[in-house]
Chains A and B, each alone.
Chain A
């Protein structure tokens, strides 16, 4: 008897989901942040080395289901929208598991004129409102740099370590867990080792809510890179709770030349790995000159719901997860 026509989320969970979305909308309404809707379908995909675009066709041309609303929302901000937020579906190919679903719900917002620290505080305020509504009380949220966490666990500075050093560290700390990493001798491979070490050695220990900031420059994506204590770091943060990454915030890159270079570097890495090339989004590049200094952050809504309801799988907080479509 097949029961997979039924939703994964119980009626209770569906009500909590609606409550969570209401809390978010009320929060932004109270701060005069405008709710917007941007296309889920785009002519360009994301070129990040580790994002698999879901590609669709309209019968004649190739279109991409957006991995996040980032490009379109930045164009709105560049056009003078002021602070905006959006709650929308996002799609990432080959991401399916206990905490991942091919299609998921993202909350993303942009704050012109905000510094990254201010945005992190606003995120914390929002999460406090959510935690309170769902009966959690955490007190203050800790802050820690990526480097401090990495060093206290492994005794190695992640910003200075060589690829060889990281590889040896990964092999000695997690024997049997490095076989999947292919060393292409580029920054992508350095990142693979950093990610393995951080996600297996550091993240599971981050049980209490913490904002992790100043990521390795090689993981800047669309964030600015700044010099901190003589080391280039990506001006990014992640919010981690119960060992789970819940949000990802950037001090947004506004230099079109630098962004073009990163797109090219991404595609070189994609080529090396036999992945499809993603053409640069020229409309985004054109908009960057007009983009005011701003910070933006994305929150995984389904995961947040999972954690506040104490659910083990994302399937339990979605109407119909990958297993049921």
Chain B
């Protein structure tokens, strides 16, 4: 596997650190007046999403991580694994474990497309699209005429996600949700 020297570090580069695949967020060269040069680097651990800060001696190298971000379609779960299929025409299927789907889990809708991060050809992270459209399966009955502003109520969606919705939303309606904030956007005409 190739390796990268600190002077090649740039945002988005995928490298291995302490056995974990990481993406470089920031790289700053530091050289105290008479001292040893080093690089202060911020990296995101692609498995956990946590941000690490490390220093490296300038000129030091890190091994490249075999990381690929690819679009995949969610198929089904067997309770232990969540199965995705490549959309590149190969129809190749891959199981993702619970930690990989953690951030996307409540938005996983069958046949919907997700960005899947593959490390050494296995999924380590699944990102939902920014907006998803999901059906309401449970909520208090809607209040007639209340279509403008006012209060909200919890609604459970097909994927199990619970979202605050306006009072006029009814079971069976499809709503659009921002997955980054978990907020209701609007009702989708079906």
Q: Quick check: A221 and B34 within 8 Å, CB to CB?
A: yes
- In the complex, whether B151 has a CB less than 8 A from a CB of chain A is no
Interface residues on B, range: 20 to 34
Q: Quick check: B32 and A198 within 8 Å, CB to CB?
A: yes
Q: Chain B residues with Cβ under 8 A from A324's Cβ?
A: none
Interface residues on A, range: 20 to 34
Q: Give per-residue flags for A88-106: 1 if the beta carbon is below 8 A from chain B beta carbons, else 0.
A: 0000001111111000000
Q: Give per-residue flags for B6-26: 1 if the beta carbon is below 8 A from chain A beta carbons, else 0.
A: 010000000000000000000
Q: Quick check: B37 and A199 within 8 Å, CB to CB?
A: no
Partner of A195, one of B36, B57, B58: B36
CA distance in complex: A182, B59 (Å): 14
Q: Are A180 and B29 also in contact (CB < 8 A) when A96-B7, A195-B35 are?
A: no
- In the complex, whether A143 has a CB less than 8 A from a CB of chain B is no
Q: Give per-residue flags for A193-216: 1 if the beta carbon is below 8 A from chain B beta carbons, else 0.
A: 011101100010000000000000
Chain A nearest CB, measured from B70 CB (Å): 27
CA distance in complex: A203, B54 (Å): 18
Which B residue's beta carbon lies closest to that of A49? B36
CA distance in complex: A255, B125 (Å): 63
CA distance in complex: A196, B32 (Å): 8
Q: Quick check: B32 and A94 within 8 Å, CB to CB?
A: no
Which residues of B approach A to under 8 Å, CB–CB?
Answer: 7, 28-40, 52-60
Q: Interface on chain A toward B: helix, strand, loop, or mixed SS?
A: loop
Chain A nearest CB, measured from B25 CB (Å): 15
Q: Chain A residues with Cβ under 8 A from B37's Cβ?
A: 50, 94-95
Q: Which of A75-83, A171-179, A224-232, A282-290 participates in binding chain B? A: A171-179
- In the complex, whether A29 has a CB less than 8 A from a CB of chain B is no
**Can you identify 9 A-B contacts, CB atoms within 8 angstroms?**
A50-B31, A50-B36, A95-B37, A99-B29, A181-B36, A192-B35, A196-B32, A198-B32, A248-B33
Chain A nearest CB, measured from B48 CB (Å): 15
Query: Given A94-B58, A195-B35, A195-B36, 18 other A-B contacts at CB below 8 A?
Result: A50-B31, A50-B34, A50-B35, A94-B37, A96-B29, A176-B53, A176-B54, A177-B55, A179-B56, A180-B56, A180-B57, A180-B60, A182-B57, A199-B35, A219-B33, A219-B34, A219-B35, A221-B34
